[in-house]
Amino acid sequence: MDTILFLAQTEEDGTLGKPALEALGAAVELNQALSGTLAAALYGAKVQPAADAIANCGASRFLAVAGEDFASARYATDAAACEALLRAAQATLVITAATSRSSRVMAGVTHRVGGCVDTHVSAIAADSSSVTLTRWFYRQRIEASLTRTQRPWVLLLDPGAHTAWQGQGASGPVTLELITVPVTESMKRTAARGTITPPADQQTIRPDAKLLFVAGAGWTKKQKDGQTHVPEAETLIVDFLHKSKASLGSSKSLVELTGENQSALRFMSHLNQVGQTGATPRHPKGLSTCCHGEEPHTVGWRFIGERRAINLDPNCGWARGKADVLYVADAFEVMSKVNALLGS
């Protein structure tokens, strides 16, 4: 019988983030399909709030490594905590969210316990005897299903690929099996000195937004009066993001203009880039503006549900099966009208 381990790091307040709850949702489903045994393993500065919140997930054991040494991401301590938890659980299948923190350590941890690991998992299916995972290769152009016999098998589930577990918390504190992990001075050579984040209204990448708003290089090009209108473009885009709470994406051309210090949008960085060499975000809807819709860009739209684009060119890439709706129009005019409607 399989033992399925749900593994997660806790947030600063001791709770679980959304990606972790999604991984738990997948672990609970997998456990039901395999009629296995479910265990939960948590690590972080505080773990009790997370354990209490998932008390009714069906786990028969709640293992934990807790303490200030495990508060922030650090390879040596995170890997030691995860290794201890995997050894204690003796699981055959381990499911964890593919956060940047766990992605950094799980390959090494899996090697230490003699298992195998798969990253960027987008779905996990099982019948009573076998487990099959799905993941994408070659920038989301090839979808593969694979299965393995080696155990333990560690699966890093991509955020946004599964619905989050939603269940009742405990009425009283859950009993934790606390595991002591010795932390030597050499393991603490790396120290987190603090976190620097832009203010919330300048944070343009919003993975949970309903809409992805993409800006292309057209916003910085000469318009019908023969002039560029970059300050106006900035105002229109910032105003729209403020009102709609959309996430901001960009084409490669636009972020590169910004990097070269040309007259471009100041709030744009390479992190906003969507596409073959950029990100593949997940949002229910997308609106592309002043972007041509070339294949290396639109491949990053793989997981965008309904797609719309605004372009002056009726023969742009979006018109060739890349978008559900193409508005052949001036994005400056359309977005100022949209902003006016949102403001009223």
Ligand X SMILES: Cc1cc2nc3c(=O)[nH]c(=O)nc-3n(C[C@H](O)[C@H](O)[C@H](O)COP(=O)(O)OP(=O)(O)OC[C@H]3O[C@@H](n4cnc5c(N)ncnc54)[C@H](O)[C@@H]3O)c2cc1C
Q: Which residues bind ligand X (CB under 6 A)?
A: 216-218, 221, 223, 251-254, 273-278, 290-292, 294, 296-297, 300, 310-313, 316, 330-332
Nearer to ligand X, 7 or 274 (CB): 274
**Rounded CA gap, 76 and 301, in Å?**
36
The nearest distance, CB 70 to ligand X, in angstroms, is 36
Residue 4 to residues 41, 175, 176, 188, Cα–Cα distance (Å): 11, 19, 17, 31
What counts of helices (H) and strands (E) characterise the chain? 8, 14
Structure tokens at 51: 């354990």
Distance of CA 244 to the CA centre of its chain: 21
Nearer to ligand X, 169 or 296 (CB): 296
Structure tokens at 277: 């060499």
Nearer to ligand X, 331 or 338 (CB): 331
The nearest distance, CB 253 to ligand X, in angstroms, is 3
Nearer to ligand X, 15 or 140 (CB): 140
Helix, strand or coil, per DSSP, at residue 281: coil
The nearest distance, CB 297 to ligand X, in angstroms, is 3
Taking a C-beta distance cutoff of 8 angstroms, is the pair 34, 95 a contact? no
The nearest distance, CB 77 to ligand X, in angstroms, is 35
The nearest distance, CB 309 to ligand X, in angstroms, is 9
- Strands of the sheet containing 283-289, edge to edge, are 247-250, 211-215, 283-289, 304-311, 325-328
Secondary structure (H, E, C), 244-263: HCCEEEECHHHHHHHHCCCC
**Rounded CA gap, 189 and 170, in Å?**
38
The nearest distance, CB 222 to ligand X, in angstroms, is 9
How many CB atoms sit inside 10 A of residue 218's CB?
A: 23
Nearer to ligand X, 3 or 247 (CB): 247
Nearer to ligand X, 51 or 326 (CB): 326
**Rounded CA gap, 252 and 232, in Å?**
21
In terms of DSSP bridges, do strands 61-66 and 93-97 run parallel, antiparallel, or are they unpaired? unpaired
Nearer to ligand X, 193 or 224 (CB): 224
The nearest distance, CB 252 to ligand X, in angstroms, is 3
How many CB atoms sit inside 10 A of residue 145's CB?
A: 10
Taking a C-beta distance cutoff of 8 angstroms, is the pair 238, 230 a contact? no
The nearest distance, CB 322 to ligand X, in angstroms, is 11
Q: 16: phi > 0 → left, psi -120 to 50 → alpha, else beta; which?
A: beta
Nearer to ligand X, 120 or 297 (CB): 297
